[in-house]
Amino acid sequence: MTPRELAKVYDPHEVEERWYRQWNDRGYFRPPDQDKAEHYSIVIPPPNVTGSLHVGHALNNSLQDILIRWRRMQGRDALWIPGMDHAGIATQNVVERQLAEEGLSREALGREAFVQRVWQWKEQSGGTILRQLRRLGASCDWERARFTMDEGLSKAVREVFVRLFDDGLLYRGERLINWCPRCLTALSDIEVEHEDTTGKLYTIRYPLAHDPSQHLLIATTRPETMLGDTAVAVHPDDDRYRHLIGKRVRLPLTTREIPIVGDPILVDREFGTGAVKITPAHDFNDFAAGERHDLPRIKIMDVHAALAPALLQAAGSDPDVVAAVEGLSAAKVRPKIEHWLKERGLLEKVEPHKMALGKCYRCKTVVEPLLSDQWFVKIQPLAEPAIRVVEEGRIRIIPEAWKNNYLGWMRDIKDWCVSRQIWWGHQIPAWYCEACYGTPFLRRASDGAPLIPSDARPIVRKTPPAACPKGHTGTLLQDPDVLDTWFSSALWPFSTLGWPDRTEDLKRFYPTSTLVTGLDILFFWVARMIMMGLKFMRDPEDPDNLDKAIPFKDVYIHALVRDAEGQKMSKSKGNVIDPLHVMEKYGTDSLRFTLASMSTPGRDIKLAEERIEGYRNFANKIWNAARFLLMNIERNHKSGGESARRTLPDMWVVSRLAKTAESVSDALETYRFDHACHLLYQFVWHEYCDWYLEMAKVSLQDPASAPGARQTLVESFEKLMRLLHPFMPFLTEELWQAIPHDGDSVMIAPFPNAELPSDITNTQALGAEQSMEALQRAISLLRTGRSLLNLPSSHNLDFYLDSVTGSERYSFRAGNLYLDALGKGKAHLAEKGTWPTRRMLILARQGMTIGIPVGEEIDLQKARERIEKQQAEETREKSRLETKLNNKEFMDKAPDEVKLDHLQRKAAIQQNLEILGSSLEQLKAMS
């Protein structure tokens, strides 16, 4: 293809939409029909159907797209499956708010009509984020897009539920769960956000039953839950209380007496008073303690987090208390409790107390632990193989530091509550027979849903049963609850590929290759996918082969994106960076490259808009390099033409590009996106543009070297566009299409490797790098000297090279043309220690010495002042670096690459100071 002209300025808006549409229309995002030997597949962490693109999504999906484009260019059979999560609570809340604006409610509509309304909303307004991912350049196979509520995935959900139940791994029982009093549903741990707040710590006197003049001091932040206490615990080795174990205390504000028990797990005898209350129905730690001591569970709150009079009466509460708290929430009851305790002389003290308050992630209501009948997955049998595959390295967690977090959580994992009391979601495939139970079930007042008794026996089926096992018909009621959103997403790696059917996609792409996700869902999603994959994807003919059952081979945990000060982004703080805004302002490639370049393992990203602007400048640098190339090659230039004689800079840049390509691939293999970006940036800006293009300008002026320079310019830039493409897809496609190339698109062109062109041997490449290194040192020293003497580039001068080895003499002869051109003067090889004049500024670095004549026109006083000022600045920076390097906390916490960077900068400053000191002494001697 012949080259075409480029506009003076890169306009990403026009480029991005055009190329994305063409890529998609041409089917480049789909894996080829033929089955290749090496597969590479990724399933997208499904964003919520209610979501819109935020900077965390931008990071997560940029990294996935880098991987999938890279593997696709490597010739892998690459598939990236997109999709969305139905987001039960979030979506239901969105539609309920719409109904409220219309003066309606979901109860007024009824369940069936409400669910239809949600589907309508989903088709009309849901999925915005998938459209925004296209804007980001995500090269997903959109024809395979899945939704956790579509028929195929619903089939998988029912299959898994029934098989877990049949295997004894799923049960219904009364346990303590997180409860949202506003959404009126159970919540998973991840759906509870903890907010730091300052509350009160109440220290209450619990009189001893056998001697009311004595008491135990109990501290609590929730005094209203005292009405549901069933015991007080002390440490069995605590000498203060050991003699009281087995005795009883009078529970304040009630008629009950409760036992004192010894519990070394619940009680820390060094903390607080050394005695704690146990309220099994309203605290998770207390629930576990209640099971250890076989304590009753006394529930005192209803589903609205209000103290229920009937429950309080049953718990033996003081009649005055029962009458005064009817219908009041726990927060409103608390001041009354404080008043009554104080009035009766039972309140020791009240003091401020910092604590984390759990709130519903959607409506921000304070979450209450609530005793409730729910469905649970018996998790321990599923966790054991999921622990083993990570311990054995069958699944790698990257960075490896998170491996211990995963293993620690899995070894202490609790049964998983999978039922939710909402309407939008997969309704639990369990039915109950009222006839078999003997009496009709009660109905919920709000919506008429059946209240399933704890002892009702479920009939679990994939499809609605026509009759119960005893033959009753017409008396079967389906469980009104739906499944936790995480239940369906736990099946994502195989349900999206067609399971439970044995589809070709399942055979071809499972296990998937890499999962890219954030740390916050390592336990709640990643761990559950591993457990479900190992349970349901084992080959019946080879059940012990866990490698075929794991859902993915690598789990890459990326950083969190924070603001420039390291603060969490939030709308209330006004520090949110909107990816759509910055893509509009700076271009998509600039955002992608910024996020990838800052993805250092184990470190949060402190993102400032200035960083994105900096990489916009990087994109412009590449654009201008392309314009230079196109201005200096013939219109009929063909890619892959006959070789022309290569100059030293030509062979050097080809060698450096080959090594950069190898290093970038190595970095991506280890998920060091930051290293890959650093390598690319350094090569493009500092080697290709700052050195090679400047030397190419010289080569192009010489008829003998111009053909080789033009060939190298085209070859190296075309290869560079392929190397950059996974990171900056739009810019590279536009430029690749503008220069001579072979093929239809850079995104399906081969990813560069370390091979050199056939006309350059490894020996020649090594020699070229050594020679160029000598040239660069000489030119850099000369530029330093010009700066010290304040000599403009227009000032041509003779300069001298001393202490030159034999190989360096060869390098200077081979590169003499470039040495003179970039040095803006005439280079001479001096005999050792022999200079043409005594007024010479001698500069030395790394065995290289140059001399610059100091003419009478040089103002020595001003030159000394400049050097002294630079010395002071360099000394201050060196001192700052030494302070950090001598700081034990910094050295213990800083990543190795940060410490190495500080050491290298300190060494470079030391070299500069040596040159400055030597130069200052020389100039003083000339005065």
- C-alpha span between 87 and 830 (Å, rounded): 76
Counting DSSP H helices and E strands in the chain, the numbers are: 32, 31
**Contacts (Cβ under 8 Å, ≥6 apart) of 714:** 629, 633, 637, 639, 739, 740
Average of per-residue pLDDT across 651-676: 97
Asked if the model's pLDDT at residue 856 lies above 60, the reply is yes
- C-alpha span between 235 and 233 (Å, rounded): 7
Output phi, psi for 249, to 5 deg. Answer: -120, 160
Residues facing 194 on adjacent strands: 358
Question: Which segments within 28-125 are labelled E, that is strand?
Answer: 39-43, 77-81, 83-84
- C-alpha span between 850 and 847 (Å, rounded): 10
Closest CA to 576 of 223, 184, 56, 69: 56
Lowest-confidence pick of 184-198, 285-299, 681-695: 184-198
Output phi, psi for 404, to 5 deg. Answer: -65, -35
- C-alpha span between 396 and 556 (Å, rounded): 8
**Contacts (Cβ under 8 Å, ≥6 apart) of 144:** 79, 81, 82, 496, 505
Q: Are strands 257-262 and 231-234 parallel, antiparallel or unpaired?
A: parallel
Distances (CA, A) of 14 to 2, 128, 620, 621, 745: 22, 21, 15, 18, 18
768 and 656 Cβ atoms separated by less than 8 Å: no
**Contacts (Cβ under 8 Å, ≥6 apart) of 805:** 847
Is 925 in a helix, a strand, or coil? helix
pLDDT value of position 638: 63
Single-letter code of the amino acid located at 101:
E
Question: Which segments within 810-880 are labelled E, that is strand?
Answer: 825-829, 840-845, 848-853
Where does residue 341 fall: left (phi above 0), alpha (psi -120 to 50 degrees), or beta otherwise?
A: alpha
Output phi, psi for 831, to 5 deg. Answer: -70, 150
Check whether the bond before 399 is cis (ω within 30° of 0): yes
More confident residue, 625 or 444: 625
Q: Write out pLDDT tens, residues 176-229.
A: 999 999 888 998 887 888 889 999 999 999 999 999 999 999 999 999 999 999
Average of per-residue pLDDT across 490-506: 96
| Residue 292: band (very low, low, confident or very high) from pLDDT cuts 50, 70, 90 | very high
- C-alpha span between 834 and 802 (Å, rounded): 8
**Contacts (Cβ under 8 Å, ≥6 apart) of 810:** 771
| Residue 326: band (very low, low, confident or very high) from pLDDT cuts 50, 70, 90 | confident
**pTM of the full structure:** 0.89
871 and 843 Cβ atoms separated by less than 8 Å: no
Average of per-residue pLDDT across 160-167: 98
Closest CA to 665 of 765, 755, 762: 755
Asked if the model's pLDDT at residue 639 lies above 60, the reply is no
| Residue 810: band (very low, low, confident or very high) from pLDDT cuts 50, 70, 90 | low
pLDDT value of position 640: 53
Where does residue 743 fall: left (phi above 0), alpha (psi -120 to 50 degrees), or beta otherwise?
A: left
Average of per-residue pLDDT across 602-628: 93
Asked if the model's pLDDT at residue 635 lies above 80, the reply is no
Asked if the model's pLDDT at residue 901 lies above 90, the reply is no
Closest CA to 467 of 492, 433, 498: 433
The neighbour count for residue 331, using CB atoms within 10 Å, is: 11
**Across the beta sheet with 231-234, what order do the strands follow?**
248-250, 257-262, 231-234, 275-278
- In terms of Cβ atoms closer than 10 Å to its own Cβ (0-12, 13-18, 19+), residue 722 is buried
pLDDT value of position 320: 81
Check whether the bond before 540 is cis (ω within 30° of 0): no
202 and 231 Cβ atoms separated by less than 8 Å: no
Closest CA to 840 of 882, 799, 901: 799
Closest CA to 658 of 678, 686, 679: 679
State the average pLDDT for the chain. 91
Check whether the bond before 726 is cis (ω within 30° of 0): no
